[in-house]
Structure 1
């Protein structure tokens, strides 16, 4: 894998994304950040280049990914807005292929199903709740997973339970079969995603991570 110096970040303006951006900066990465509303973004650094645009727009993704060696996304579904998961993933994969970018790490919920899952009753209940209450969003997220598995990109989809927006650092449990804990801090999510971007221990897999 190529050395990673510049990272394209989607969702960096969100709550989890802020933790991700700050940790990338501390580790010395250059960042290209896609933002719909750059004026609302408060983190300032000479290491950040901001691209104004939308993940649903292919041209925005082309501008974002140009000259980057990896992509990280913490994009979530926007309330009362067009479905984002599958189209954004499709756009990202297409441009990664064109630019020969190898590494893609993205954030997802427990509700994504994979053929390798052995979900506990608690994890399955959370999955079923999502399918019952937000079936269209659930289907779109599952479709995004299908795009990933059909691609040649070295992707990792990180599945998480309830997110606590703190800097708390704890030992993390990791499993490709089930979520072993009920919560995780945004700090630990960012820490795991960056580590996984570099080390690729779970290439083409969807690990669950949670606080032990």
Structure 2
């Protein structure tokens, strides 16, 4: 069932969104966006004592995305999942394992909508990347090959799953609440940066729109 049809039957306040990465720089914009629109949010946080956003719409689960038990606990009683998890320097690889955990927990909890954030370096068979995007992708492959491979494996897991997923690809993030005019493309990133506020809005809108089911759009400041 498409979430936007679901919203016709259920009040937004009764919909709970599981969020991974909500304590990160981009994730905080997403959390504020969701609660501003009235969604209940269930967060998986490694250090909940450091989380500053307060709202009766927020529920916190203490844990790590590479721990299946924690992820399964996060997803209980949720209707969709959004991830803004990034790779932290010097820490275990997170993308593939987190995706495995989320997909398994979604199956166990009857959830069918997964929306997640990645960089422009992820390749898909549908891409027609221009020179700048190719250069950025190749730079990532050359300088961070293990992280790049881990992210690419995460994409493959999505493609081979039976859920409705959307993998949002973004360039350099400008950490402001600004929401500049936004470009969207399924084939190439035609801008070199994107506002964090715009990312949060786009991620939230995917709860209400089926347009990018099983697709990997680029978004950027136009």
- 1:16 correspondence with 2:26: yes
- 1:49 correspondence with 2:59: yes
| Structure 1 segments unaligned to the other structure (5+ residues) | none
Displacement after TM superposition at 1:201 (Å): 1.1
Match of 1:156 in 2: 166
Paired with 1:11 and 1:200, the residues of 2 have a C-alpha distance of: 23
Match of 1:133 in 2: 143
8 Å CA contact 1:173, 1:210 repeated in 2: yes
The structure 2 residue matched to 1:198, chosen from 183, 192, 208, is 208
Displacement after TM superposition at 1:200 (Å): 2.2
Displacement after TM superposition at 1:196 (Å): 1.3
Match of 1:89 in 2: 99
Match of 2:157 in 1: 147
2:206 aligns to what SS in structure 1?
helix
TM-score (norm 2): 0.94
The structure 1 segments of at least 4 consecutive aligned residues displaced by more than 4 Å after TM superposition are: none
Paired with 2:95 and 2:188, the residues of 1 have a C-alpha distance of: 22
The structure 1 residue matched to 2:84, chosen from 67, 74, 81, is 74
Q: How many residues align?
A: 212
2:208 aligns to what SS in structure 1?
helix
Paired with 1:201 and 1:173, the residues of 2 have a C-alpha distance of: 15
Displacement after TM superposition at 1:197 (Å): 2.2
Displacement after TM superposition at 1:108 (Å): 0.1
Displacement after TM superposition at 1:97 (Å): 1.3
- 1:121 correspondence with 2:115: no
| Structure 2 segments unaligned to the other structure (5+ residues) | none
Match of 1:177 in 2: 187
